[in-house]
């Protein structure tokens, strides 16, 4: 395989909107060769890929993939020959009382939010081991740090993401591969549009920064991690305006 002249080759999951889209845009601006996935929004993902290719002159491949399904992830990686950066961003939420949540809903959330990291990392890591370098960045949540009422399953999945990040970082550090996570607070994404204006205002009033975060700020922090010293690994970096 010919050596690439771009900064790297990145896979961003859940890239059709919100945080994933902002990360894809930031990486394209840096010159990364991109693989972008989403589960359902094929039109949006394809449009974004074409847009990034035209604006930033980078190669960008959109792929429909259910990151919570192992066979779907296997098919995704069959199209990827090399990878230097994996961004595990795809995720779903569930708000409601735990005793009213169905086992199917619990399992689906765990598949997408936590099992997907195993499915993707087990295939990405061998590519990185070959070059004794690489970076894995997982998008987590402050609820993985402290837990949230009415979001027990989501909190548990993100707590798992945090533990997964710390453990894998220790495993891969001798091989020069960094693994970190960004624990997001309230970010202005479609996931949070389920809340009413009153509920969002109540959340905003609790945040010392006195505002909701933007997806571009998550992307900016991710770029900082890409340029961080190699000694920085196994960290859960909180981005929440001082909220928690």
Closest CA to 120 of 138, 105, 103: 138
Closest CA to 59 of 19, 1, 10: 10
Which of the residues 32, 35, 119, 154 is marked catalytic? 154
The edge-to-edge listing of strands for the beta sheet with 177-184 is: 60-64, 33-38, 9-12, 85-88, 134-141, 177-184, 236-239
Q: For residue 62, give every residue at least 6 positions away whose Cβ sits within 8 Å of its Cβ, in sequence order, or none.
A: 36, 37, 38, 42, 45, 46, 48, 49
Q: Is 32 a catalytic residue?
A: no
- Our CA dihedral for 212, 68, 59, 136, rounded to 10 degrees, sits at 70
Active-site residues, by number, are 154
């Amino acid at each position: 395989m010919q050596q690439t002249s771009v900064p790297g080759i990145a896979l961003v999951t859940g890239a059709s909107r919100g945080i994933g889209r902002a990360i894809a845009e930031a990486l394209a601006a840096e010159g990364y060769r991109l693989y972008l996935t989403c589960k359902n929004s094929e039109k949006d993902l394809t449009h974004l890929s074409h847009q990034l290719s035209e604006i930033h002159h980078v190669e960008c491949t959109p792929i429909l993939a259910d990151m919570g399904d192992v066979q779907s992830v296997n098919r995704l990686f069959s199209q990827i020959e090399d990878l230097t950066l994996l961004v595990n961003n795809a995720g779903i939420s569930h708000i409601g009382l735990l005793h009213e949540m169905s086992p199917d809903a619990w399992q689906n959330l765990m598949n997408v939010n936590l099992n997907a990291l195993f499915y993707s990392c087990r295939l990405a890591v061998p590519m990185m081991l070959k070059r004794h370098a690489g970076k894995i960045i997982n998008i987590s949540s402050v609820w993985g740090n402290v837990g949230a009422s009415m979001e027990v399953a989501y909190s548990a999945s993100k707590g798992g993401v945090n533990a997964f990040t710390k453990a894998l970082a220790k495993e891969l550090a001798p091989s020069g591969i960094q693994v970190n996570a960004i624990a997001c607070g309230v970010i202005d994404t479609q996931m949070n549009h389920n809340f009413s204006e009153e509920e969002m205002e109540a959340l905003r009033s609790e945040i010392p920064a006195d505002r909701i975060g933007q997806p571009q700020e998550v992307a900016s922090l991710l770029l900082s991690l890409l340029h961080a010293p190699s000694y920085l690994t196994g960290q859960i970096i909180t981005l929440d305006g001082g909220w928690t």
